[in-house]
Chain A
Amino acid sequence: MTTSTINLAPVSRDVATENFFNSTAQREFPICRCSLCGVVGGPQQTQCSSCDSTNLSWEVASGHAVVRSYVVNHLRTTSQETPKLVVIAIAELVEGPWWWAQVADVDPCTITEGMNLVIDFAPSGEEMLPIFRADP
């Protein structure tokens, strides 16, 4: 069994991602809740995906999610080398938003639709990025 590894290129923040990276530094995943209709969206949203309101407030996601889709990258630097497997999944947070992230320490052959995930964080450059692990 070959399990997946985390392989993140270094990210950097800009004005739009300042709140996000301030949260992930605290090992928290921020989501946006619409102050008018209550629908929850991802951290990158600038307006509600349901009612178009720009009146959003930040809250912290529970960190629980399920797999909606995934791909497996086979990384190798030379053709002889055994490739590293990097799993990238669409994680559907229990609050509703989707987040595309790498999944650590999972056998790609065992991933199923709806498999439970739990959030973790991994360093990327000087920031922390959300990753997921299988939640047994």
Chain B
Amino acid sequence: MIRPSTDPTIVGLGMTEIGKIYGPDSNQFAQQAVRLAVADAGLRLSDLDGLLVSGTAASRSSEIQRDLNLRDLSLVAGVSTWGTSMSVIIQLACMAIETGQATTIACVFADAPLQDKGRSFGASFSEGHPPKPGWRGITEATGILGGNPLMAMNARRHMLTYGTTSEQFGHVAVAQREWALLNPQAQMKKPITLADHQKSRWIVEPFHLLDCCLVSNGGVAVIITSANRAVDLPQPPVTVAGFAQCNPGYFDRRDDNFGLVSGAVKSGPAALKMAGVTIDDVNVVQLYDCYTYTVVVALEDYGFCQKGEGGEFVASGTLGPGGSLPLNTGGGQLSSFYLQGATPVSEGIIQARGHGGARQSVEHDVVLVANNGGSLDHHTTLVLTAGAA
């Protein structure tokens, strides 16, 4: 396929130390990640003319610009759509490259939820009592605090409707831990079994501890430029060949498909069409896995299996090293690290470059990167292809 030279191309990837890293705040992690990404791309900070920020640093783009001595940027924004925000800023960067608004853009996600060593991990994403006044407080007072009960409610609906089981969710956790053992950067270093998953303590039923993602501090940045500029740069170029979003909107009333379907059913086909490929062409898949359940529903929505059969699909030996579908090859948010959308994005780039080491997929021409935000409120798809025109 002949592509125009303005094709948005990822030429730099920067990852700070990630995990239980105490000290830096999200602003400082963001700066570190941008410096690392610029160096990885063989560029200088002064080459940047765009800065897009997501995560808890999203509202601090002006500070980050100032601290990095970035001048006369033609594109700056902070985006907050939870888990999709890293993909959203990559999409904005792609559009800016194609329109010429900016030529060399840093997209960064940074977060530092772990500020106190004594605080429980789940508490980092839950707001404390007493509840706020009004509608929000009614939800909080009822016990809907943070992502755990929200996503557990989604997962239970899937189980009640399609017969999906906790053991099936466990297969996702076990497979991704196997991948994590091949990833030197992964936070989790010990193998787990299905029995370990079933025995792990309840967080909120139907989720055991091993259904839930890690909590991590750190930052990830990528540098996006046009294909013609990428030619002279050192890293294997990764083209953002297709991208799309679907933000379904839920009505909280009879016939709502809450928990059963995500926005992937629309953003997936749209992104694949833009890339000129089909789901059968995809070699490597990175699916947002804040909980085991989200992998199951996304596999259905992307068409890797039929709707309602995701549980059987993940329990059939498809996943994990040596399985037929290289999925969340770094260990994902469940076993490597949780920097929201930056986890699937970074592993997708590593795989597309062929830099995955012991976990590298032999075929990596087309990589699908899928992110969720909120309680399946947002979904983004990126189709990454190895090598620019």
> Chain A residues in contact with chain B, CB under 8 A?
7-14, 16-17, 41-42, 44, 49, 68-74, 86, 88, 90, 92, 96-98, 100-102, 108, 112-113, 124, 129
Q: Name the residue of chain A whose CB is nearest to the CB of B161.
A: A113
At the interface, yes or no: B137 with Cβ under 8 Å from chain A?
Answer: yes
Rounded to whole Å, the gap between the CB of A111 and the closest CB of chain B is 9
**A-B contacts, CB under 8 A, total:** 102
Is there contact, CB below 8 Å, between B253 and A73?
Answer: no
Is there contact, CB below 8 Å, between A101 and B142?
Answer: yes
Q: How far apart are the CA atoms of A11 and B252 in the complex, in Å?
A: 21
> Chain B residues in contact with chain A, CB under 8 A?
129-131, 133-135, 137-144, 149, 152-154, 156-157, 160-161, 202, 204-206, 251-254, 256, 258-259
Rounded to whole Å, the gap between the CB of B375 and the closest CB of chain A is 11
Rounded to whole Å, the gap between the CB of B175 and the closest CB of chain A is 25
Q: Name the residue of chain A whose CB is nearest to the CB of B252.
A: A98
Is there contact, CB below 8 Å, between A86 and B253?
Answer: no
Is there contact, CB below 8 Å, between B202 and A97?
Answer: no
Is there contact, CB below 8 Å, between B130 and A100?
Answer: no
Is there contact, CB below 8 Å, between B149 and A71?
Answer: yes
Is there contact, CB below 8 Å, between B254 and A71?
Answer: no
Rounded to whole Å, the gap between the CB of A61 and the closest CB of chain B is 13
Q: How far apart are the CA atoms of A108 and B154 in the complex, in Å?
A: 17
Please name all residues of chain B whose beta carbon is closer than 8 Å to the beta carbon of A124 when the two chains form the complex: 141
Q: Contacts A72-B205, A73-B149, A74-B202: A100 and B135 contacting too (C-beta < 8 A)? A: no
Please name all residues of chain A whose beta carbon is closer than 8 Å to the beta carbon of B142 when the two chains form the complex: 8, 88, 100-102, 129
Please name all residues of chain A whose beta carbon is closer than 8 Å to the beta carbon of B135 when the two chains form the complex: 16-17, 44
- 9 tightest Cβ-Cβ pairs between the two chains A and B: A72-B205, A69-B157, A14-B134, A113-B160, A14-B133, A9-B141, A71-B152, A98-B252, A96-B254
Q: Contacts A14-B134, A108-B205: A41 and B253 contacting too (C-beta < 8 A)? A: yes
Q: How far apart are the CA atoms of A129 and B131 in the complex, in Å?
A: 13
A49, A69, A90: most-surrounded residue (chain B CB, <10 A): A69
Please name all residues of chain A whose beta carbon is closer than 8 Å to the beta carbon of B153 when the two chains form the complex: 69-71, 88, 90, 100
Is there contact, CB below 8 Å, between A98 and B253?
Answer: yes
Is there contact, CB below 8 Å, between B139 and A49?
Answer: no
Please name all residues of chain B whose beta carbon is closer than 8 Å to the beta carbon of A113 when the two chains form the complex: 160-161
**What are 30 pairs between A and B in contact, CB < 8 Å?**
A7-B143, A8-B141, A8-B142, A9-B129, A9-B131, A9-B143, A10-B141, A11-B138, A12-B137, A13-B133, A14-B134, A16-B134, A42-B252, A49-B252, A49-B253, A68-B157, A69-B153, A69-B258, A70-B153, A71-B149, A71-B152, A73-B149, A86-B143, A88-B143, A90-B258, A96-B254, A97-B253, A100-B142, A100-B153, A102-B142
Please name all residues of chain B whose beta carbon is closer than 8 Å to the beta carbon of A41 when the two chains form the complex: 253
Please name all residues of chain A whose beta carbon is closer than 8 Å to the beta carbon of B161 when the two chains form the complex: 113
Q: How far apart are the CA atoms of A113 and B15 in the complex, in Å?
A: 44
Please name all residues of chain A whose beta carbon is closer than 8 Å to the beta carbon of B259 when the two chains form the complex: 69
Q: How far apart are the CA atoms of A108 and B156 in the complex, in Å?
A: 12
Please name all residues of chain B whose beta carbon is closer than 8 Å to the beta carbon of A108 when the two chains form the complex: 205
